[in-house]
Amino acid sequence: MLIPCLACESRFGPDEYFSACSDYNRGLDLVSWTCPTCGNRDDLRVLPGELGFGYPHRGRFDVHDRLRVPGLRRHRGDLRLDISLDHASWHVPTRVRQHV
């Protein structure tokens, strides 16, 4: 399946899409995504079977839009998020902040 950029509507295969994820925020449970085509930055939450898009608000992340991605799985680690789909997997590291 192809996953669209919500800004420019380019569509990406899973490998290209999840390779563009960076900086897993464990507290808010979201990853940053930068569109390889238009450079738009989105925050999204990887959920079992779907992606959740939304906005950080008052210390939490509210999901407003969901995109179904059948077979999508995730595993939360201490300093990274592991994403898997079919037989592929991606690791999104947490950017270590000096001041927490």
User: For binding to Zn ion (CB under 5 A), which residues are involved?
Assistant: 5, 7-8, 35, 37-38, 40
Minimum CB–partner distance for residue 87 and Zn ion (Å):
27
Report the C-alpha gap between 37 and 63 in whole angstroms. Answer: 24
Identity of the residue, 1 or 8, whose beta carbon is nearer to Zn ion in the bound complex: 8
Minimum CB–partner distance for residue 11 and Zn ion (Å):
10
Residue 9, phi-psi category: left (phi > 0), alpha (psi -120 to 50), beta (remainder): left
Identity of the residue, 7 or 79, whose beta carbon is nearer to Zn ion in the bound complex: 7
Report the amino acid identity of residue 68.
Answer: R
